[in-house]
Amino acid sequence: MNFFSKSGFIKLFLAICLISSFSLAKEDYSEMSNEELIAIMGYIKEKNKKDFKKELQQRIPTMNEREKKFYEKNLKQQKGNR
């Protein structure tokens, strides 16, 4: 599965929808998949970044190769957007 395919776009869209729903409730990143966490990397509110980073760091060792590549790509994009 390619993250840039139609299904990848749909997952990203759903992740963005999840972000908007977070404003109504406390974030529970432990309930999200690795792909969802990676997809929302640049969209976390400042007050939630500590919890998000903690969850993401716990997940990195368990990621498969595809997820790690997606994570690394998003990480580079985030560093480039600063």
Residue 34: both structure tokens together: 């690795």
The rounded percent of the chain whose pLDDT value lies above 90 is 52
Give pLDDT, residue 1. Answer: 46
* Phi, psi at 64, each rounded to 5°: -80, 175
- 3-state SS, residue 5: coil
pTM of the model: 0.65
Tens-digit pLDDT string for the chain (82 aa): 455 567 777 787 777 777 766 555 567 899 999 999 999 998 898 989 999 999 999 999 999 999 999 999 999 988 887 6
Question: According to DSSP H, which parts of 23-64 are helical?
Answer: 34-39, 49-59
**Is there a contact between 34 and 13 (Cβ–Cβ < 8 Å)?**
no
